[in-house]
Every structure is written in C-alpha cells, then in structure tokens.
Structure 1
Amino acid sequence: MKNLKRSAAAIALAGLTIFSSSFVSGAMAADARPLIQAMQNSEGEPTLAPMLKNVIPAVVNISVKGTKEVSNNMLFNIPEEFRFMFPQLNQPNRQREFRALGSGVIIDAKEGYIVTNHHVVEDASSIRIALSDGREYEATKIGSDPHTDLALLKLKEFDNLTALPFNSREQMDVGDFVVAIGNPFGLGQTVTSGIISALGRTGLNIENIENFIQTDAAINSGNSGGALVNLRGELVGINTAILGPNGGNIGIGFAIPVDMVKTVVKQLKEFGEVRRGTLGVAGSELTPDLAENFGYKGKAGAFVNEVTPGGAAEKAGIRPGDIITSINGKNIKSFGELRAIIATLGSGADAKIGIFRDGKNLTVNATLTEPDTLSGSDAGQLSDVLEGATLTNNDGGGVLVSAVAPRSRAFAVGLREGDVITTVNRDNVKDLSDLKNKMSKSKSGATALRIQRGSSVLYLTIRH
C-alpha cells in the first residue's frame, strides 16, 4: 500500500508538472519548479496545503442581520374602482427581519477592505465578520452594485489582517487549476478544487451584467462572496452563483472575474457607487453567417447593429456593421462580454477599441459617457406608476430600471432593480428618449410596458 501511495503521488505530481505551463504564462518547465516544489509535503507528495496556509486567513465568514420590506403588490393589479372591496390589501408595507450567511475576501490588509456579493449584504443593518482564527469584527458597507452583484465592506476595527493579491496574469485559460474557498451552509471555511471550465459566460440571467468564470470547483449556498484562487494563491474571481437543482452543486459554478472586481471596487471606494459608462451601441452576438457576410475570419467578437447619435461610439468613429474585437487590448468574445466590460469601466473612462471593418483591423479611442437618467418625480412625469424609479439607457437596447426607492409607487407596483423596459404597446423601446416619445403618444385607455426580468417577462399595465 505504501508503494502504491507513492506511485499515485508521483502520477499526480507529474500531472501538475505537465499543466504548469497553463498557469505560469510563458514560463519554461524549469521556471515552474519552485511552484511545484512548494506544492509538495515533506514526503514529496502533492498538496495544496502550503498555498492554502497563506490564502485561508484572507477569506472570511459574513453574518448579517436586517429587515426587508414586504409590499402588497396585489393591490395595484386591482382596478381603482374595486379596491374598496379588499381593505386587507390597503395595509401598509410590512417589515420582516432576516438573518443571512455568506463569505468575503480581504483585499486590503492595511485599510481593512473586504469584497463580497451585493446579495449577501443587501438590506443588512448589522454586518459581522469572522476570521479563520476565530476573531470577529464589525463592518460597514462602503457601497454595492446590484448589477454586478459586488459590494465593498470596511472593518471598523481590526488588527493583523491577511489580504489576497489579485491575479498577476493578464489572461486566464480554460483548464487552469483553481480553488474555491468559502462558508457553505454555515459550516465554516471549506476548500474545494477544480479547473476553469469556461470564460466569458453571459446570458445566464443571474445578474444584469454578466461576464462569468465557470468552474467545476464545488460551490454551494453560503459560498457567495468567497474566493476563487489560482495555484499561486492569487484571487482570480469572487464566487457568486451555481446552477443546480434545489441550490445543490452539480459542478457548474460561476465567479465574477477579478478584472471586473478591480474596476467596481475602485469606483465604490471613490464614489460609494458605480458611475456606469456607456459606449452608445446596440448589437448582437457574432454568428458564423454574419462573420462570413462581412468577410471576418475570426470566430469571436461583438456585432454592431446600431450607433446612438452623439454617443461615445459615434464620436470615436464606430459605425453600424463594425465588429468590435477588443477593448484595451483584451479580446472580446461576445456582445454580452462587451457590455459587461463597458458597464464596469465607468463614465469618463478612456477605452481603446479594436474593430474590424471592410477587411481591415482598426483601433479607435472612445471616452465613455454617463448614461441619460430619469429618477424620482422626473420618472413619475412619464407615468405616476414609475415615480420612485431610476431609469437609464440600457446598452443593448431598452431602458434599465437601475434603482427603485422603497415605499415608492414604482416599488409598490412591482418594479425592481435590474428590470429592463423593452416595449411600449408592442413597439420596441430603443432608449430613454424613445421611451419618453412613445409614452407621450399613449395617453388614452391603457399602456402596456413589457418588462424583461432575468429570464422572465412580465407586463405592467398603466391606465390613463
């Protein structure tokens, strides 16, 4: 048995050596030897323990308490003249207490900054952080972004923290080994391992802005906000979601890539919110037929269907029919990935955009603009049921509901952050200006707004 154990260890170690080039970019096998040697125990057997000793102290458990408002949404589905028949529905919105658990990652040991998921700390009035060594501290929320599902916390008091460094490689590859660390089901810190299964996953309707790393490292309930690290112990993503029956793991988990984390954290530190930028294009995924028709031999990119007049794209010289291939030197796989990157760069950011046009590869420079916005009573001027909503242009078409004030009419009728208004009476809505125009022409009878919410579609009927 002893010889068999050593043989198995030798095979596993050989496997790590073979794959060393996949996580040490551009390095010869000899350059990977220090890393391989650091992943062996005293008997020469492969182990992740040395790396994890440095990583685990930077991953924390988060427990939150708070209250959530439970609204009587049924009331506004009943015509005004019949509401007197349902006095029980006229009760004010109720407050419900809740407790929740999650995970987080220390990214700055000197300042006490922690990154987690927005949904972990949403509506939290109290945030408690537990370190791996048993110490506990109180934290405050600096800011959060529901569209990327990221939040930034800061410890009130702390001492002798360990932070995770960000991934030092510019490019990750499918097949790279990764390790997920978090607090599943409140059990305490748990480590699972796997590989990167896919990159740039979009269209999953998990978040409003998606550009996920997919991994088969086991991620379960409570892992939200935890770390996805490479074999050097560097942060490559923040675990956020799984696909599986009843919330169980089936080997399909998703993490927010570290590049997106960096840009969102930078804005949350500076402004307490994400001041989203827009390029001003509407487009679609690049299909083989489109690529062939436009003489493009590549397989990845974002096809531009429409350019917003006066927007950043038009000023940069981007035209309908262009294929966007890269942003700031990073190749673009899909229109969804383009949208996610643009949305997290922030308004005023400069972007170097690679495009394919008429058989040539070109590079243009664009300065992202702040999206047009209607909020509060201004949104209510379109319709009283929109009062309290913040409406903004949605890259890809439609109008995004970027925020909804509690106790507002918009909240009461069921509008939520992340909803996208796509049509007015079956007419497609291009942007906020188009919504204003179509709403102004629909002033009699009833107006039906088509709302896209993740993978679901619902209609909001407005009676005039």
Structure 2
Amino acid sequence: MSLYEKLSSKKFFIFNLVLLGTLFGFSLAFFSFSIAKPADKQVAHAQSVQTPVSSDALVVAESLQKAFRSVADAVLPVVVQVNTVEIQKQQVPQFNGIPWEFFFGTPQDNDQKNQEREYRSKGVGSGIIVRKNGTTYYVLTNNHVAGSASEISITMNDGREFKAKLVGKDERKDLALISFESKENFPVAVLGDSDQVKVGDWAIAVGSPLGLSSSVTMGIVSAVGRTGGPAGNINDFIQTDAAINQGNSGGALVNIRGEVIGINTWIASPSGGSVGLGFSIPVNNVKRAIDDFITKGQVKYGWLGVSLIDADKDIAAELGIQNRKGALASQIFIGSPAEKGGIQPGDYIIKLNDKEVRNRDQLVLAVGDLKAGEQATFVVIRNGSEKTIRVKIDERKDDVVADNSKLWPGMIVTPINDEIRQALKLDAKVKGLYVVEVITKSPAAVMGLQRGDIIVGVNGESAKTLPDFFRLLNDKTKKDLWFEVQRGETTLETMRYKRP
C-alpha cells in the first residue's frame, strides 16, 4: 500500500482522532487549573506571646544577684584550700626462716631487720584566713583536716601555693590553726556573731568540695543549736541546706553580709555526698580558741568537775523537774571546784551566770569556755527548791578528768519503767533504781556494784526513788557508804566505802 493510501485509511483516521482528543483534554485541564482561585489553606501557626518580666521583680532579683556576687568577691580571697600529706610508717615484714631460708638463703645484711616502709596519704580540705601578724597569716580549719598532717600547704583562690605549718589543734572542738608566711597583703575574714543567726537566714558555703577550690553554694539556715555531732565533739552546730561535701571541711559558712558565721565541719548523709544536711561550728565557739592557739598552742578549757546527763522523762518525773530545761549532775569529782563550791550529785543545773541552761551539751560547752580562776554562778534545783551556788572554775586537765577513782559515786541510776521491767521480767511489786552504768575503777565499782543491779537501800535506809537516793548519798554525817541491791533473785549488801 502506498503512503497516501496509508494516511487516508480508516484506522489511521481513528488513531489521529483519539490522539487529538487526548491532547485537547490535557490542555483544557491545565488551563482550568491555572486560572482557578486557590482554596484557602488551614495552617496552624505557633503564636509567640512575649510576657516581659516585671520590672519590680527584676530589680529585686538583680539586687539579690549583686548581693551574692558581692559576698563571693569578698569571701573567696579569705578561704583557702588546705592540702595535707599524712605520713605513716609500718614495719616491713620479715620472711626469715623456713621455707624462706631454704629457697633464698639467710640474709647477710643485718640492716634489713627493723626496716620501716613509709606511706603517704594525701588529703584536701578548706580553711579561713582569720588573723595576720606581720608576715604571718593564720588559717583556721578542722582538726580532722590538718591535725595529723605531716606536710601542709595552702592554695589561694588565685592558684598561688604556700607551705604551712601546724600551730595548734584541739580534738574536743575539732579545730586546728595553721600558719603560712608571706610579705604580700592578703585580706582577713570578718568574723560575725553566730548568736544572732536565725532559722531562715541566707547561708553561703565556701570551700573546696572534692578538691574543687573556690566553690560557692547557697542555701538557708535550717536550724541552730543542733547537738549530737561526731563522737567527742562538744560543739553545738548550725544546720544548713547549702551543699557541703568532702573537702568543704574547715571552710566558711557566711551570711548575706559576707561575715563568717560558721566553720563547715560535717554532713549527715547515707551516701557520703550532700543531701542538704550540713553542719557548721558557730564562729562564736572558736573565737577564744584562735587566741589560745596563737598564745598557748592549745585550747584551754574551764573545769567544773561534774558528770552531766540529760534528764529523761522518768528521771524528770521523779525529781519533779518536768518541763524544766537544764542538765543533771549525776556524779561529782572528789576535790573538784564543784564539790568545793557545794554542788552535789542530783542537783539539776538550770542557769549559769544568769543564762538559762538548755541541755547537757550546751552546759559542757559553756563551762569549757570559762577561764580558770573565774567565779561562776550556778542556779540548781535541789529537793524541789532553787539554790544559787558560786564556784571558782579550775583549768581542765586530761589526767585529772581521766581519774575515775575520784568520780563520786561512780554510777548512773534510773527509775524502773515498764521497758526495764519487761526486759528483766520483774514482778510489778519490785521497786527500786536500776543501775544503768558503773564506771570502771570508781567507788561504785570498788564496792562491787554491777550494771543491772537494782538499788533498794542506802546505808540501811530505803532508797527506792531518786530523791531518797540522792538525799542519803549526800548525807555526810555518815562516815561510810554502802548499798542494798537486788541482783537476780538475791538481795545483798555491797562493801562499805569510806567517804572522802
């Protein structure tokens, strides 16, 4: 078939018609879409609403921020990092003898005997520059930071380091004073008045927690007058929730004025890290100690010569001193200022120099701060009546305090309550005083008294209550003293002890 015939055939005509229709349809659709008005689209836009900070609130916040900056600027230069090295020596073990000699022979060098190996233990704490005398700067810290150190150095907040030495230390207050020499002019801390500290006050801790020097944390004073610190520490404490960690010990707790109100000392924590329970020694507890360290190399304490306890509810009820704050003189040292002044076992001390006594710990601290030779006035409750006693305070000496043979009578007793009665399975008819503790080598121990004994009589008279017990104990018309006690199923008398 010729080309003309192909182009004019019926099939070719239909094909062209379909092709033109398709092209026309696409063109018409495109034209309609291009001229149609687009539909409104529903688009969600994030609405930005700016709420400006109240200018009044901002002024207050910025003022507080400036106050904290001011405190940091003032305090950081007076708080140092205390670096210590404690050197301990241990005997080198000797391996002479079988099988050592069998395998290695006998050492020929006799110098190997009694050899010692040196161990160096590093520590980090904090300290406060509290005094300057010429080119000597004195830094206060904790005894547990620097008291046992063989080598001491301090690092200033600008990184400069100086060698330091121990001036004095005191275990009872956990304090130590170290010194370093410099001709440069460093600032000295301003010591505030910790008696004016109130719960809710701002509290700012400065130190080197975990060796991170010049760290500042902030909180409030959570409580004051806390007791029950580490064993042997006679201080009361300021409690704060400002973060305190290992390395903060010896550092400063300051108020919003930048005045030192406490020396950070310990934390209560199940993990060893800060949980908001930090404790600082009130600065008023250490002011006299600083002078004693510098002038005498140690802290001098006043001594009254009594053994004190807090009266629990059972003791208070028997002595008629419920709801009265104070401390009970359970025992007296023979020949002590207390005995010479007229204080007796069983006296409930409620005042010292016109200041109320809150508890045992507070009285121990207050007496310790008295000077030897000072006349102190005590108010006691004896047999239900108040009595004023003047005592000349002596200096506390460790050897005298440790002499239990002078502690009269040398035991602590308490009324029998339901708990004691159930523990000992005592009949309800049994009356007397339970012996809580007998002091080793004391008169009570010499007489043969034992812990757990029940005292029912003194010098042949009934003594089943505390008032009767103390009345007969203090009766000096009797030359001898002995006790009638119930021990198990047996009632017996102790040895007789000649009164001093």
Category of TM-score, reference length = shorter chain: 0.5 to 0.7
RMSD over aligned Cα, in angstroms?
3.7
Could you list the per-position Cα deviations for residues 163-182 of structure 1 after superposition, in whole angstroms to 9, with x for gaps in the alignment? 12222364433333221111
Per the TM alignment, residue 294 of structure 1 is displaced from its structure 2 partner at its CA by 4.2
3-state DSSP class of the match of 1:259? helix
Match of 2:302 in 1: 277
Of 184, 195, 198, 2:223 maps to 198
1:283–1:396 CA contact under 8 A, matched in 2 = no
Match of 1:99 in 2: 122
Q: Matched residues in 1 for 2:82 and 2:157: separation?
A: 11
Match of 1:209 in 2: 234
1:286 aligns with 2:308: no
3-state DSSP class of the match of 2:335? coil
3-state DSSP class of the match of 2:302? coil
Q: Which runs of 5+ in 2 are unaligned?
A: 1-49, 93-112, 411-435, 449-500
1:256 aligns with 2:274: no
Q: Which runs of 5+ in 1 are unaligned?
A: 14-39, 73-89, 376-389, 399-425, 440-464
Q: Aligned pair in 2 of structure 1 residues 351, 218: CA closer, same or farther (>3 Å)?
A: farther
Q: Matched residues in 1 for 2:183 and 2:51: separation?
A: 46
Match of 1:184 in 2: 209
Match of 1:175 in 2: 200
Per the TM alignment, residue 185 of structure 1 is displaced from its structure 2 partner at its CA by 0.7
Match of 2:338 in 1: 313
Q: Matched residues in 1 for 2:367 and 2:303: separation?
A: 6
Of 254, 265, 269, 1:240 maps to 265
1:428 aligns with 2:453: no
Q: Aligned pair in 2 of structure 1 residues 278, 95: CA closer, same or farther (>3 Å)?
A: farther
3-state DSSP class of the match of 1:247? coil
Q: Aligned pair in 2 of structure 1 residues 57, 372: CA closer, same or farther (>3 Å)?
A: closer
Q: Aligned pair in 2 of structure 1 residues 429, 231: CA closer, same or farther (>3 Å)?
A: same
2:84–2:150 CA contact under 8 A, matched in 1 = yes
Per the TM alignment, residue 240 of structure 1 is displaced from its structure 2 partner at its CA by 0.9
Q: Aligned pair in 2 of structure 1 residues 197, 64: CA closer, same or farther (>3 Å)?
A: same
Of 17, 42, 49, 2:69 maps to 49
Residues paired across the two proteins, number: 352
Match of 2:153 in 1: 128
Per the TM alignment, residue 391 of structure 1 is displaced from its structure 2 partner at its CA by 4.7
* Structure 1 segment 374-453 matched on structure 2, within 5 A: 374=399, 391=402, 428-429=438-439
Match of 2:11 in 1: none
Per the TM alignment, residue 64 of structure 1 is displaced from its structure 2 partner at its CA by 1.6
Amino acid at match of 1:58: V
Work out the percentage of aligned pairs sharing the same amino acid: 35
Match of 1:137 in 2: 162
* Structure 1 segment 54-133 matched on structure 2, within 5 A: 54-70=74-90, 94-110=117-133, 111-133=136-158
Match of 1:33 in 2: none
Per the TM alignment, residue 92 of structure 1 is displaced from its structure 2 partner at its CA by 7.0
From the CA coordinates, give the structure whose radius of gyration is larger: 2
3-state DSSP class of the match of 1:282? strand
Match of 1:224 in 2: 249
Q: Matched residues in 2 for 1:69 and 1:434: separation?
A: 41
Q: Matched residues in 2 for 1:340 and 1:92: separation?
A: 45
Match of 1:87 in 2: none
Could you list the per-position Cα deviations for residues 210-268 of structure 1 after superposition, in whole angstroms to 9, with x for gaps in the alignment? 32222211110100100111222222111111111332011111111212212322222
Q: Aligned pair in 2 of structure 1 residues 368, 64: CA closer, same or farther (>3 Å)?
A: same
Q: Aligned pair in 2 of structure 1 residues 237, 352: CA closer, same or farther (>3 Å)?
A: farther
Per the TM alignment, residue 339 of structure 1 is displaced from its structure 2 partner at its CA by 1.9
Could you list the per-position Cα deviations for residues 29-60 of structure 1 after superposition, in whole angstroms to 9, with x for gaps in the alignment? xxxxxxxxxxx54xx76641123322221111
Q: Aligned pair in 2 of structure 1 residues 136, 396: CA closer, same or farther (>3 Å)?
A: farther
Amino acid at match of 1:231: I
Per the TM alignment, residue 270 of structure 1 is displaced from its structure 2 partner at its CA by 2.1
Amino acid at match of 2:277: I
Q: Aligned pair in 2 of structure 1 residues 355, 199: CA closer, same or farther (>3 Å)?
A: farther
Amino acid at match of 1:184: P
Higher RCO (C-alpha under 8 Å, 6+ residues apart): 1
1:150 aligns with 2:175: yes
Match of 1:3 in 2: 52
3-state DSSP class of the match of 1:112? strand
